[in-house]
A and B are shown apart, each in its own frame.
Chain A
Amino acid sequence: MSPVIPVGPYHPALEEPYKISLDCEGETIRDADIEVGFNFRAIEWLAERKNYVQALTLVERVCGICSNVHTLTFSRAVETIAGLEVPERARYIRVIVAEAERLHSHLLWAGVACELIGFQTLFMTCFALREQVMDVLEAISGNRVNYAMNRPGGVNRDIADPARVLAAARNVRTATERQLIPVLTTDRTVHARCAGVGLLTREDALALGAVGPTARASGLGQDIRRSAPYEIYDRLDFDVPVRTDGDVLARVTVRALEIVESCRIIEQAVEGMPEGPWSSGDFPRIPAGEACARIEGPRGEVFYYVASDGSDVPTRVRIRTPTFQNMPTVRPMVRGMTLADAPLIQASIDPCYSCTDR
């Protein structure tokens, strides 16, 4: 007998709805079917009925974790249509906030992964570090989520206390290098639970259009910050960690190393941030036109297409989030694995169903 085990759409541990049906042979998973859309909000449809100010606020609600990348990507698409230049200081602020968002996202994920592995003490370490980042984001924006920092032509707020941001970045980097990375990469428990589990080959990653750390853990070196630099990334010194093993351990390692790189980026950006304006002034009138924009979010490439007919309401807003591309990779990852590995494998792509469903 070959039972199909339905998991979801409601989960006791995961506060987002999705469903995965696991076709099993004993304890071994033969195949999986993934269903999404339980949180579908038609945000693209709604954005085509809001003016640009309202649409900017709306797209920030696509995701509760990486909300900042959505306003940044939308703003950059609008800036391209309008031919807007962004002041230098605003570019630095955008990068600092984007990397702080990556830090809190990666640390959140690392904590959740540790809990799934059964490593409670490391879970606490991750969340203690994340809290420092959340405090910095709150100090900058006034909010712990939905920071409302970006707008076409600049940012909505300055960073009043760069020294605090710098201190937090250094602290997180030191703790990550001394505590988190050694444990995540060498601890026997982590290794036993993650090595060789949930394999995604380079070929499958490319065929399925995987992005972000999921792709980079399978040997694809793509990172929009490096391959198509935006804001000030082309002036910063940072590495793009890539692993070729394609298993859960590789995805854990890539994200852990990216925490260090994000801290390095923040440190450089804070130290090099010039004085000057941080906004180009009034909200611009958007001419007719169309443009695409891409940002490297915590989970990978975020893509926006915006079309304008010259009115103050966009005629088309297309949003492609990273998890939309990464979620189908779970299917080849779970094939041949044991049932007990399925939760960890799903978590290893750092899924965001709110983003996927939009």
Chain B
Amino acid sequence: MDAEALLTGLETETGWQRRRDGCWAEVDDLDPRAMTRLLSKAEARWVTLTVMPAGTGFRLIYHWDLDGELLNIATTIVGPSVRTIADLLPAAEWVEREMHDYYALEFLGRDETPPLMLRPDDEPGLFSRTQDLGRDVDPAEYDERPTIPEGGRP
């Protein structure tokens, strides 16, 4: 099965795009478990999950490899939880624990989500709690305060 047929099967309203870095699809109300079943059946290889804050929720990008083509399936969730795929795909076990460490994102359906990078007594959500720390460069002031030197040489 090719990437085009697979992504069409995800029923994305905005369709998919083929870019320089692979195929991209934005899917509203993505069912990650249906996606996992679909792609696993096609022997797509799991790459990883990217999570980033988006408003009160998160933007999630599931990355897969299908015969060398990178498939990036993105969705935005409003709340702090999403259904787990680790029981369907053991390859996703560690990354779910990692994203729980970073963003306190709950993966519904897991019996437990032990820390991976943090220690057992650490509170999950390290990146979320410290989101504003260390960001001393205001993008709005970029033109006035470039941190890349004139001439551009590092």
Contact = CB atoms under 8 A, between A and B. Distances in A.
Interface of A: 36-37, 40, 42, 44-46, 48-49, 51-54, 56-57, 77, 80, 151, 156, 206-209, 220, 222, 224, 226-228, 281-285, 291-294, 301, 303, 305, 307, 309-313, 315-316, 318, 320, 324-325, 327-328, 357
B152 A209 contact: no
Interface of B: 19-22, 43, 45-48, 50, 52, 61, 63, 65, 67-70, 72, 89-95, 102, 115-119, 126-127, 130, 134-137, 139, 142, 146-148, 151-154
Contacts, number: 127
Contacts of B45: 206, 209, 220, 222
B146 A312 contact: yes
A316 B53 CA distance: 10
B148 A310 contact: no
Contacts of B139: 309-311, 313
A357 B115 CA distance: 12
Nearest to A77: B21
Given A42-B126, A222-B45, A282-B153, A316 B20 contact: no
A238 to B, nearest CB: 16
Nearest to A286: B148
Contact of B70 (A151, A294, A327): A294
A242 B4 CA distance: 28
B52 A310 contact: no
Contacts of B63: 292, 303, 305
Contacts of B69: 228
A224 B68 contact: yes
Nearest to A282: B152
Nearest to A79: B20
Contacts of B142: 310-312
Q: Which 9 interchain pairs have the tightest Cβ spacing?
A: A227-B68, A282-B152, A209-B91, A311-B139, A283-B152, A320-B48, A37-B117, A209-B46, A49-B134
Given A283-B148, A285-B148, 7 more contacts: A44-B102, A51-B137, A220-B45, A228-B69, A292-B21, A324-B48, A325-B48
